Structure formats: C-alpha cells, structure tokens
C-alpha cells in the first residue's frame, strides 16, 4: 500500500488558469506535509509546507490540508508557463523521513 498517492496526471491548464493538484496519504499519524516542485533533470524544490488543518497561502500558491479526510492539495493561481514541472507531495510519516508520491506533471499552455 502506497503511503502517499497523487493524481496520475499529466495535468494541462491554460496560462492564467488555476491548477489544482491533489494528494492523499495513508498514515493517520502524519503530522507534516510538503509540496515540492521538480523541473526535468533537476532536484526537488520546496514550495509549501503545511502542518495544521485549513489553508495556507504564499503568493500564487495555496496549500490545503484536511487530516480527517487524509487529503492535501495545492492550488496554483494565475498559472504561468514557468510553473510547468512535476509536483511532488510528501508526508512526514515517521520521525525522520518523508514519504513522497510519484508526482503529478503539470503543463501550463501559453
């Protein structure tokens, strides 16, 4: 059983639209959740972290966490072609490591 699951994608949105990325996790003991962006051939880059239920906004990015539903999402408003990348959802399910999903590839079409 996978610890963290994400939309299989790929996801394509037009420039200026809202991109919605979703993630579920299996371990109810998970306390910390993260979204990473990974450009092709590059390493993951931290975008957002969220620790409590509700929304957390940072610029064009909003992370949402619902621990009862074991669900995490990332919204990207006013999507830009530079947002085209693979987005990785991660959950801290143990004391000392992250479990990552397989990632959702997002393409923003100019």
Partner 1 sequence: DAGVTQSPTHLIKTRGQQVTLRCSPISGHKSVSWYQQVLGQGPQFIFQYYEKEERGRGNFPDRFSARQFPNYSSELNVNALLLGDSALYLCASSLVSYPNTGELFFGEGSRLTVL
Residue ranges in contact with partner 1 by CB under 8 A:
4, 32, 34, 36, 42-46, 49, 88, 90, 92, 94-103
C-beta of 18 vs 46, nearer to partner 1: 46
Closest distance between partner 1 and the C-beta of residue 110, in Å? 26
Closest distance between partner 1 and the C-beta of residue 54, in Å? 19
**Quick check: 14 and 109 in contact, CB under 8 A?**
yes
Taking the C-alpha atoms of residue 25 and residue 41, their distance in angstroms, rounded to an integer, is 26
Closest distance between partner 1 and the C-beta of residue 85, in Å? 14
Taking the C-alpha atoms of residue 78 and residue 67, their distance in angstroms, rounded to an integer, is 27
Taking the C-alpha atoms of residue 69 and residue 86, their distance in angstroms, rounded to an integer, is 24
């Amino acid at each position: 059983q996978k610890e963290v699951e994400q939309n299989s994608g790929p996801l394509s949105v037009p420039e200026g639209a809202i991109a919605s990325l979703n993630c579920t996790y299996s371990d109810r003991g998970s306390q910390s959740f993260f979204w990473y962006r990974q450009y092709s051939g590059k390493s993951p880059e931290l975008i957002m972290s969220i620790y409590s239920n509700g929304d957390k906004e940072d610029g064009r990015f909003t992370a949402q966490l619902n621990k009862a539903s074991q669900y995490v999402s990332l919204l990207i408003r006013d999507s830009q072609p530079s947002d085209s990348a693979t987005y990785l959802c991660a959950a801290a399910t143990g004391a000392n490591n992250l479990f990552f999903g397989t990632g959702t590839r997002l393409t923003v079409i100019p």
